[in-house]
Amino acid sequence: MRRESLLFTPRKIGTMTVKNRLVRSATYEGMADDNGLVDNRYVALYENLARGGIGTIIAGFAFVKENGIAAKNQTGIHTDGCVPMLKKSVEAVHRVNENVKFVLQIAHCGRQVEPDIVEKKKFKPLAPSPIADKSVGILPKEMTIRDIEDVTQAFVRSAERAKRAGFDGVQLHGAHGYLLSEFLSPYMNRRTDDYGGSSENRVRVVIEIFEGIKKLCGEDWPVFIKLQVDDFVKEKPSLKPPESVEIARRIAEAGFDAIEISGGIYESGEELDPWYLKISTTDEEAYFLPYARKIKEVIGETLLILVGGIRSFEVAERIVRDGYADFISMSRPFIMEPDLPQKWLNKLSGKSTCTSCNRCDTEMGNKGLRCLLLEN
């Protein structure tokens, strides 16, 4: 067994003790109805993950307001009606293993929303600035100060619902071109008020949401963030180091319990976004590691979660051992092998069999999140 490995040692995130350093990164499940209410497939998905030896599960990405939905069958946390089935999923996870921590990622899509959703739901997409999204053809409405205040409160209220459902914490989705990362990026945020311009201003709404959640849900209840480090677009200006490193420093200074770094937006495409890479060798793994090295130097004691193409035990352990990240986060490997942590612990595997084909995302259809290779 590999119990001596740092990957299988406990670590505290705020006041929460996590049993190992392996995190299931949030992803879209596609297991909800038109109102965002999840079904028993969602419960079974996370119950199965809990059996596989994971330390922390981050469920994704639950919209906080009706005009914040990005795709059909997306999980909602925008009304009290969403709470009962989410509570059922939390209870199922904790029943399987009370030491598995279950965190809910909460999000607002901003301008990145499927046009047919906009037509069906009859809302005007919001964004920091009225800049069209080239990938979906959406021209958003520039948010007023009142809009920003409303969305801030929607995040805070949604976090309280997540706590009521029994989740061990929340993660703000501040990456991948959704609303909070739109505020962070000079490519999508051209405001001239207190929420635009300098990096200090562009991070303001994220910190106000964080402070609101801590005030309502308690200082001890963990709040993570998935943080954009690179937009991966050709146009300038855009978000990338060194500015994204400075934003990470500000996020840490604000008191976030953990930062998971990521990048890319809908407009990035296969040419620029490393998410599309077909990982076949260890040298191709951990494509956000260069960013982690820079960010770890400026965030002090704030914990860093590293995601991005990690597939092998060897690479994951080395990253944690070398101090470039405190936790290793994966999503696609756990879709194919929810028991991968147990396999690694028991030396039954050294590398995930996931090929990064991305069919779990691109060919999901109406059946929800699953590995399509296992169906062939």
Predicted confidence (pLDDT) per residue in 258-317, tens digit: 999 999 999 997 777 777 778 888 888 999 999 999 999 999 999 999 999 999 999 999
Of 374, 373, 370, which is closest to residue 361 (Cα–Cα)?
370
Q: With bands split at pLDDT 50, 70 and 90, how would you rate the model's confidence at 190?
A: very high
Q: What is the token pair recorded at 139? A: 């021209």
Long-range contacts of 77-81 (CB under 8 A, 24+ apart): 77/36, 77/104, 77/106, 77/158, 77/161, 77/162, 78/36, 78/154, 78/158, 79/35, 79/36, 80/161, 81/35, 81/37
Q: What is the pLDDT of residue 168?
A: 98
Share of the chain above pLDDT 90, in %: 86
User: Which pLDDT does position 77 carry in this prediction?
Assistant: 98
Q: What is the pLDDT of residues 109-166, one digit of tens each?
A: 999 999 999 999 999 999 999 999 999 999 999 999 999 999 999 999 999 999 999 9
SS3 117: helix
Picking from 23, 33, 42, the residue whose alpha carbon sits closest to that of residue 103 is 23
Pick the closest to residue 14 from 56, 49, 74, 45 (CA basis): 56
* 371 pLDDT above the threshold of 80: no
Provide the annotated active-site residues: 178
pTM over 0.85: yes
Among the listed residues 262, 140, 153, 155, the one whose alpha carbon sits nearest the alpha carbon of residue 189: 140
Q: What would the mean pLDDT of 231-243 be, rounded to a whole number?
A: 96
Q: Mean pLDDT across the stretch 73-83? A: 98
pLDDT (average), residues 182-209: 98
Compute CA distances 135 → 113, 142, 267, whole Å. 10, 18, 5
Per-residue pLDDT at 376: 64
CA dihedral 322, 326, 331, 336 (to 10 degrees): 60
**Residue in this structure with the two tokens 């914990």, named with its chain if needed:** 303
Tell me how far apart the alpha carbons of residues 258 and 248 are, in angstroms, rounded to a whole number: 11
For helices 289-296 and 243-254, angle between their N-to-C axes, nearest 10 degrees? 50
Q: What is the pLDDT of residue 373?
A: 81
Q: 150-177 burial, b if ≥16 CB within 10 A, otherwise e?
A: ebbebbbbbbbbbbebbbbbbbbbbbbb
Average pLDDT, the chain: 94
- What is the average per-residue pLDDT within 225-233? 97
pLDDT beyond 70 at 336 = yes
